Amino acid sequence: MKASVMFVDDSISVLESLKWIFKNEPYYLFAFDNPFDALSVINTLKWAVVVAERHMKNMDGLEFLKKVWARSTHIMGIIMTCYTKTAKVLDTLYPDCVFEFVKKPLDSNEIK
């Protein structure tokens, strides 16, 4: 069975890039430009990975992943961020809900 992967970013262009990067991968890929919409479906599938942008207009990506983790602790959370120094500090603050930080701009091999 294919794994379900969720991307949440308020930038449509980033989401389109992610769809292109993952077009031939063996995953069900879901992309949301609004974290509240993403949270509304979090209990509908068994998500393997949820990737969220750190800085979004409607909700901070870390706050989003904390809400995801509160609903389902088996989900692997990944944060996309431009701030690599911040990522190292945040890694110690959010060990449960954030598995990894990925640097933006995205490198297709790294995000896979």
Which segment of 8-22, 34-48, 75-89 scores lowest on mean pLDDT? 75-89
Residue 85 has pLDDT above 60, yes or no: no
Domain ranges of the chain: 3-111
pLDDT band at 10 (very low <50, low <70, confident <90, very high): very high
The pLDDT of 67-82, averaged and rounded, is: 88
Residue 110 has pLDDT above 80, yes or no: yes
53 or 97, greater pLDDT: 53
pTM: 0.87
Architecture of domain 3-111: 3-Layer(aba) Sandwich (3.40)
Calculate the average pLDDT of the chain.
87
28 closest CA partner among 3, 45, 9, 8: 3
Residue 55 near residue 83 (C-beta atoms within 8 A): no
